[in-house]
Amino acid sequence: MATAALPRPSHARRERLPALDAMNFFLADVRDGLGPYLAIYLVSVRGPSHGWNEASAGVVMTIAGIAGLIANAPAGALIDRVHAKRAVLVAAAVAVTLASASLPFVEGFWAVAAGQSLAAVAASVFAPGIAAISLGIVGPKAFTARIGRNEAFNHAGNAVSAALAGLLAWKFGPVVVFWLMAGLAALSIGATLSLDPNRIDHAMARGCSDDDEEADDACDPPSLWQTLKGAPTLAWFAAAGFLFHLSNAAMLPSVGQLLAREVGGDKATSLTSACIVGAQLVMVPVAMIVGRKADDWGHRPIMLVAFAVLAARGLLYTVSDAPGWLLAIQLLDGVGAGILGALGPVIVAAIMRGSGRFNVAQGAVTTIQGIGGALSTSLAGVMIVGAGYHAAFWLLAAIAGGGLVLYRLVMPETARG
């Protein structure tokens, strides 16, 4: 078999894999696209004179989110099937950057929506691609720790890029985020190409067992229908993730829009960057701790903490509109989202171990979660326009509470004893 000559995961797990670290660091800004900066740019730079407000900006983000979520499951299936995983990630980085950097030069609602939708579709391959490469190199036993390390470098990259965006936007305005993304995309491509493709066991990368040399032949090929059929635990996890993202996705963009109304677009971009930096810096140790301890402490109690912190964050946003308070509360995102980012792929891998459908399953889960994220910004935008920011944050907190109850009632423990 072609994979027989590859180094076994027991050897790879002891390595730090700097190329994989660099991939996660530099792709951090690229894989999320413009994120909350899109809402700030549309509301504060173009504004009502060009027909943009919180609701219309939210609709654009929803359209792009829907395009991305439709692509998630096919993206996972693609990653499961192809061996040219590095090339797929490079092509996606180029596409996301070009689509995002074109925003200052396009006019009209549908042109903006089309560009952001293209970016979202391209970005759908990053999560399954990085997870598959990681699993294919280190194997299932070291996967939890590796994902924690991936997320730590991802959050560190986000913190650095957000800090640079904040500093540069203070001097040059919100448009600077487009050029910063282009520079980081070039670095991410170099890091991706520096990874040795011969280190990747492609059968193991899609969730086949590494217990014996017959694993590659015994492992079924990936199928979206087979993945979804007869996997109730996966379905419940996806439903809980839907509620998490329905609550979480709109929080930071809403805070950014609130800051834009209070202090202006240039300062809002910098303050939003400070919010991102603070949360990402918290996510780094959270991801490392989750990666090292989740299998010992249990996946279920850690995920319940993530939902509880998310609900508390939504409630605390309503206490004050002061920039300092909003920045302080945004630090809680480092706990909630940090846990989900580090633990989500691990839970999917645990549910699907031995099936050969890890990445298509991850794509299916991400699709359902992405529906929540896509609806979140429109829901919050309409609520803000109709009832104000505080009402929107109360609603988002209530949704997080519903997710907490659902996870507590239906999700089993997925950590291996």
CA 318 to each of CA 255, 272, 312, 314, 395: distance values in angstroms, whole numbers, following the listed order: 11, 17, 10, 7, 11
Quick one: pLDDT band at residue 108, thresholds 50, 70, 90?
A: confident
Average pLDDT over residues 272-280: 74
pLDDT at 262 > cutoff 70: no
Tokens of 282: 């918290």
202 vs 411: CA distance, rounded Å: 30
Count of CB atoms situated within 10 Å of the CB of 403: 27
Is 71 within the bounds of a domain? yes
Could you tell me if residue 415 is inside a domain?
no
Q: Is 82 exposed, middle or buried (0-12, 13-18, 19+ CB in 10 A)?
A: middle
Q: What's the CATH code of the domain at 226? A: 1.20.1250.20
Contacts of 98 (CB under 8 A, 6+ apart): none
In a domain, 114, yes or no: yes
- Give yes or no for a contact between 130 and 138, defined as CB atoms under 8 angstroms apart: no
Contacts of 407 (CB under 8 A, 6+ apart): 240, 300, 303, 304, 307
CA separation (Å) from 365 to 27, 141, 184, 238, 241?
Answer: 21, 22, 28, 5, 8
pLDDT at 407 over 90: yes
Q: What is the pLDDT of residue 242?
A: 94
Share of the chain above pLDDT 70, in %: 80
SS3 sequence of 11-30: HHCCCCCHHHHHHHHHHHHH
Would you state the pLDDT for residue 213? 42
Structure-model confidence comparison of residues 370 and 263, the more confident one: 370
Cα-Cα-Cα-Cα dihedral of 123, 330, 374, 118, to 10°?
A: -30
Q: Mean pLDDT across the chain, nearest whole number?
A: 78
How many separate helices (H) and strands (E) can be counted in the chain? Answer: 20, 0
Per-residue confidence (pLDDT) for residue 8, from 0 to 100: 44
The per-residue DSSP string of 193-240 comes to: HTS-GGG--HHHHTT---SSTTHHHHSPPP-HHHHHTT-HHHHHHHHH
Instruction: Pick from 214-228, 295-309, 341-355 the range whose average pLDDT is largest.
Output: 295-309
Q: Global pTM?
A: 0.69
**Confidence band of 37 (pLDDT split at 50, 70, 90):** low
In angstroms, what CA-CA distances link 340 with 147, 240, 283, 407, 415?
A: 11, 11, 10, 13, 15
Confidence of residue 2 (pLDDT cuts 50, 70, 90): very low
Examine the pLDDT at 12 and tell me if it is beyond 50.
Answer: no
Greatest mean pLDDT among 2-6, 162-166, 252-256, 299-303 lies in: 299-303
State residue 34's pLDDT score: 60
Is 212 part of any domain?
A: no
Q: What percent of the chain has pLDDT over 90?
A: 12
Task: Choose the weakest-confidence range: 8-12, 94-98, 172-176, 295-299.
Answer: 8-12
Q: Are 214 and 354 in contact (CB under 8 A)?
A: no
Is residue 279 within 8 A of residue 335, CB to CB? The reply is: no
pLDDT number for residue 158: 78
- Is residue 322 one of the residues assigned to a domain? yes
Average pLDDT on 14-26 reads 79
pLDDT tens-digit series, residues 379-389: 887 888 778 88
pLDDT of residue 310: 94
Residue 56 maps to a domain? yes
What is the arithmetic mean of pLDDT over 199-226? 60
Domain that holds residue 124: 20-207+221-410
pLDDT of residue 237: 92
Q: How many domains does the chain have?
A: 1
Q: Is the pLDDT of residue 58 over 80?
A: no
In a domain, 200, yes or no: yes
Q: Is residue 75 part of a domain?
A: yes
Q: Cα separation of 297 and 245, whole Å? A: 24
- How far apart are the C-alpha atoms of 170 and 268, rounded to whole Å? 9
Query: What does the DSSP 8-state code read for residue 412?
Result: P
Look at residues 240, 222, 241 and name the one whose alpha carbon lies nearest to residue 361: 222
How many whole angstroms separate alpha carbon 377 and alpha carbon 80? Answer: 31
Structure confidence at residue 33 as a pLDDT band (50, 70, 90): low
- Higher pLDDT pick, 82 / 300: 300
**Residue 65 scores a pLDDT above 90:** no
Q: 194 pLDDT exceeds 60?
A: yes
